[in-house]
Amino acid sequence: MEQVSLLESEEKFVPKRSRGVFFAMGCLFLLSWMPIISNSRPAELSALHFALYLTIWEVICAIPLTSIERSRDQSGIFSPSLDRDSKKRVISIVLATGVIFAVTTFLYVLSFESAGTVNAAIALQAYPLFSISLEFIMIRKRKSWKEIFFTVLLVTGIYYLGTGGTWRMEEISIYFLLALLVPFLWSVAHIILKQTMAKYPITPNQVTLIRVISSTVVFLVVIILLEGPAGIWEGLINPQFQLYALLMGAFYYLELVLWFYSLRHVDVSVASSVTTPAPVFTAFLAILILREILLPYQAVAMIITLVSLYGLLYSGRGSISE
């Protein structure tokens, strides 16, 4: 049985489908639990402050793997063989995407809080819709008629969910639209980063570390401008706040690292399709832990979404890196 490690050698790297699927399956488990952790936090902990604290914990969680990589001479972006201009270019790209991820982290927490755990979990599955569209626009990657068919079916399911099963556009809430904005921005950032990782020897952990540092700075600046530093300090010394932030930050960090490692082996749209059952597990956990109720229209929308995403997975198998 092949041993899978997060510390992959940069020399003679060969993408392998099995590893990409393995890492994506890890993402599936983590993604299923993250909404539950987010919506279980104390009610007085706002979405903006929670996003800041969990991002700080992501930075802390990234330190051990960063140290291991350096000790094993996996210098990545800091390799002496990489010229200074290339280093600056890569770091600038990752820092810029960090700003995008700061926005998505806040919207992620806010949408699960306001749109509901099940609705937001299903809405996030629009990721393949955006990734497929952006792959075509940004890197001219053509799609088959089967992929187009299942994409249209996915749009239908997401629209039905957003209208609360009424099919009336006026029933779509602003928070549901914000939930849809998360996978769109994820798709933009991930495609940019995938191209960067393919061109330069930066490790997934380095991408994640630079990205979360950038996001942390964004949150600190925004909160200080809005509230001053006092609000940040009060939350930092609250052990209950930090417990949930630690759990969310650790899960989020590990999911990011596994995701980027998955992208080294398979396409963005394929890797995202592997995480298809996430809303099913999230819904089950929401019913069991948060005492939420799964409404009939949500179940129908979930089935349509699952069929669509699995259809995309199998119709796009030819694009998986072997």
**Alpha carbons 140 and 138: distance in angstroms, whole number:** 6
Look at residues 234, 305, 205, 184 and name the one whose alpha carbon lies nearest to residue 45: 234
pLDDT tens for 94-130 read 999 999 999 999 999 999 999 999 999 999 888 777 8
Residue 133 scores a pLDDT above 50: yes
Residue 318 scores a pLDDT above 70: no
Report the pLDDT value the prediction gives residue 18, as an integer from 0 to 100: 82
Q: Calculate helix-pair angle for 296-315, 278-289, nearest 10 degrees.
A: 150
How many Cα atoms are found within 13 Å in the side-chain-facing hemisphere of 148? 6
**Alpha carbons 151 and 207: distance in angstroms, whole number:** 29
Q: Which of residues 50 and 136 earns the better pLDDT score?
A: 50
Residue 313 scores a pLDDT above 90: no
**Alpha carbons 59 and 45: distance in angstroms, whole number:** 20
Residue 51 scores a pLDDT above 80: yes
Residue 321 scores a pLDDT above 50: no
- Token pair listed for 2: 């092949």
Most confident of 55-59, 150-154, 195-199: 55-59
C-alpha torsion sign, points 114, 184, 31, 69: negative
Task: Say if CB 45 and CB 239 are below 8 A apart.
Answer: no
Report the pLDDT value the prediction gives residue 16, as an integer from 0 to 100: 83
Residue 319 scores a pLDDT above 80: no
Report the pLDDT value the prediction gives residue 1, as an integer from 0 to 100: 42
pLDDT tier at 322 (50, 70, 90 boundaries)?
very low
Report the pLDDT value the prediction gives residue 8, as an integer from 0 to 100: 58
Q: Choose the weakest-confidence range: 5-9, 119-123, 266-270.
A: 5-9
Q: What does 134-193 look like in DSSP terms, one character per residue?
A: HHHHHH-----HHHHHHHHHHHHHHHHHHTTTS--GGG--HHHHHHHHHHHHHHHHHHHH
- pTM of the complete model beyond 0.75: yes
Report the pLDDT value the prediction gives residue 193, as an integer from 0 to 100: 84
Look at residues 4, 175, 8, 214 and name the one whose alpha carbon lies nearest to residue 93: 214
In this structure, how many other beta carbons lie within 10 angstroms of the beta carbon of residue 28?
A: 16
Residue 2 scores a pLDDT above 60: no
pLDDT tens for 283-312 read 999 999 999 999 999 999 999 988 988 887
Region 222-248: mean pLDDT is: 88
Q: What letters, b where the CB count within 10 A reaches 16 and e where it falls short, cover 186-196?
A: bbbbbbbbbeb
Region 263-268: mean pLDDT is: 77
Q: Write down the H helix ranges in the chain.
A: 17-40, 47-71, 84-115, 117-123, 127-139, 145-162, 174-199, 204-227, 229-236, 239-263, 268-274, 278-289, 296-315
Residue 276 scores a pLDDT above 80: no
Q: Which of residues 13 and 101 earns the better pLDDT score?
A: 101
pLDDT more than 90, % of the chain: 43
C-alpha torsion sign, points 219, 117, 186, 69: positive
